[in-house]
Amino acid sequence: MSQAFDVVVIGGGPGGYIAAIRAAQLGFQVACIDEWKNGKGGPAPGGTCTNVGCIPSKALLQSSEHFEHANKHFAEHGITASDVKIDVAKMLARKDTVVKQNNDGILYLFKKNKVTFFHGRGSFVKADGGAYEIKVAGAKEESITGKHVIVATGSNARALPGVPFDEETVLSNDGALRVGAVPKKLALIGSGVIGLEMGSVWRRLGAEVTILEGLPTFLGAVDEQIAKEAKKAFDKQGLKIELGVKVGEVKAGKDGVSVAYTNAKGEAQQLDVDKLIVSIGRVPNTIGLNTEAVGLKLDERGAVVVDEDCKTSLPNVWAIGDVVRGPMLAHKAEEEGVAVAERIAGQHGHVNFNTIPWVIYTSPEIAWVGRTEQQLKADGVAYKAGTFPFLANGRARALGDTTGMVKFLADAKTDEILGVHIVGPMASELISEAVVAMEFKASAEDIARICHAHPSLSEATKEAALAVDKRTLNF
């Protein structure tokens, strides 16, 4: 006898577990299936984000930033820290503890919200009389049914053709978070989000880091002025980023990796390193879902085809997060999860794709929402721009971190905020004000007239809004 549920969620990452909780809050009988195993074979819900993504990467970014501060910045505060060392094993153990706290938190939330959790792989069996039969292959095999199914199976790292991840010398994001000792030389392929974050971690800890990027422009999706400022900071830190390269043969041995490539000038080069991290994007994951059994439509990338509302080609089957179109971000997956649960309940769940923030957690941090200056130009939109440097912000000076700026882009006629771009300290937190403002269709003048605490980094946001009207007060 199959257990019957109103909603079965396949995948317990940020998309799936949030969808399950919201559906349960709305009164549905909900099951969530997730196959991720912790080191002891037990359940580890939270998906890529919790286990090998957002959370562990931020834990290592924090540890490595402390190390760099102790080595390079304590002295200017009059603090002597001699013989500063990094115990990599301890750093990794702390990261694992942070991950486990998050796994356990999700299991607690499932209990609290009466979501039935299944540990194992979920796959479609058949559509039967208004419900879908799902097999769960875990410690034992079970069969459950759901009137609605939410596919939230996430994504996997993309490998270079012919160069599989061995997670010893050729690393995906998974292996990159488990390197047991600081490599002397590290190469990364792809200077996207993972390349910059993971490259920063190991550079701060002492590795000589080279990032090889195929495109001729640095961070093409980022506002050009902001990307340029970030690149300047990374160059100063010694993070070597080579743009416009063409990666050729990659030879991986037990002791290291040799990467042949052509540089932007067309010259043949070879890079010999201890470890190689391949961070060239991610592919949607539907492995083992048995979509053929029910005829769920996938696109040529293997993503589940959905409409704006996350409806798939099948009635009452929904898909969210990394396995569908759109940015591969945890908060985007979560928003889609909430919206789908509400749509199942007959409500009007909504995701505003124009106000999804992006953050790169390097130092300086890079964060943005809305359109870039180059996009506005391409779209033929008349706009006004205002920038304010952290150099002129009192709190940034007190922190000793004055790199970067806040940039506002507003409609030339209506003054509505069209984009906000930040490179600098705590950009990840500062961007929320811009998201709220854009969600409420605020004008730059609205932000310029709101009282911001002094001294705070957020005053740079207010000043950038003032700069749109050319009336900064502190610059």
Minimum gap (Å) between residue 216 Cβ and ligand NAI: 10
Beta bridge partners of 271: 259
Does the footprint of ligand NAI cover residue 257 (CB under 6 A)? Answer: no
| Catalytic site includes residue 73 | no
Minimum gap (Å) between residue 430 Cβ and ligand FAD: 16
Residues 130-189 that bind ligand NAI (CB under 6 A): 189
Q: Judge whether 468 and 448 are in contact, CB under 8 Å.
A: yes
The residue annotated as part of the active site, out of 77, 119, 452, 454, is 454
Does the footprint of ligand FAD cover residue 404 (CB under 6 A)? Answer: no
Does the footprint of ligand FAD cover residue 322 (CB under 6 A)? Answer: yes
Taken in order 263, 266, 272, 276, the sign of the CA dihedral is: positive
Residue (33 or 434) nearer to ligand FAD, CB? 33
SS (H, E, C) 267-301: CEEEEEECEEEECCCEEECCCCCCHHHCCCCECCC
- Rounded CA Rg of the chain: 24
Does the footprint of ligand FAD cover residue 14 (CB under 6 A)? Answer: yes
Binding-site member from 328, 423, 457, 464 for ligand FAD (CB under 6 A) = 328
Q: Judge whether 219 and 234 are in contact, CB under 8 Å.
A: no
47: partner contacted, choices ligand NAI, ligand FAD, none (Cβ within 5-8 A by kind): ligand FAD
Binding-site member from 5, 7, 9, 13 for ligand FAD (CB under 6 A) = 13
Peptide bond into 455 cis (omega under 30): yes
Structure tokens at 423: 């490179």
Encode burial over 54-88: b for 16+ CB neighbours within 10 A, e otherwise: bbbbebbbbbbbebbbbbeeeeeeeeeeeeeebee
Minimum gap (Å) between residue 193 Cβ and ligand NAI: 4
212: partner contacted, choices ligand FAD, ligand NAI, none (Cβ within 5-8 A by kind): ligand NAI
Binding-site member from 152, 182, 303, 329 for ligand NAI (CB under 6 A) = 329
49: partner contacted, choices ligand NAI, ligand FAD, none (Cβ within 5-8 A by kind): ligand FAD
Classify strands 208-212 and 185-189 as parallel, antiparallel or unpaired: parallel
Does the footprint of ligand FAD cover residue 16 (CB under 6 A)? Answer: yes
Residues 348-367 that bind ligand NAI (CB under 6 A): 359-361
Residue 246 is given by DSSP the state: E
Cα separation of 275 and 181, whole Å? 11
Taken in order 180, 181, 183, 186, the sign of the CA dihedral is: positive
Minimum gap (Å) between residue 121 Cβ and ligand FAD: 4
| Of 84-92, 111-119, 191-199, 458-466: span binding ligand NAI (CB under 6 A) | 191-199
Cα separation of 290 and 56, whole Å? 30
Beta bridge partners of 404: none
Binding-site member from 207, 209, 333, 430 for ligand FAD (CB under 6 A) = 333
Structure tokens at 224: 């050009």
Does the footprint of ligand NAI cover residue 247 (CB under 6 A)? Answer: yes
| Of 120-128, 302-310, 406-414, 439-447: span binding ligand FAD (CB under 6 A) | 120-128
So which residues are the catalytic ones?
454
Contacts to ligand FAD by CB under 6 A: 10-16, 33-36, 47-49, 53-54, 57, 121-123, 152-155, 173, 194, 285, 288-289, 321-323, 328-331, 333, 361
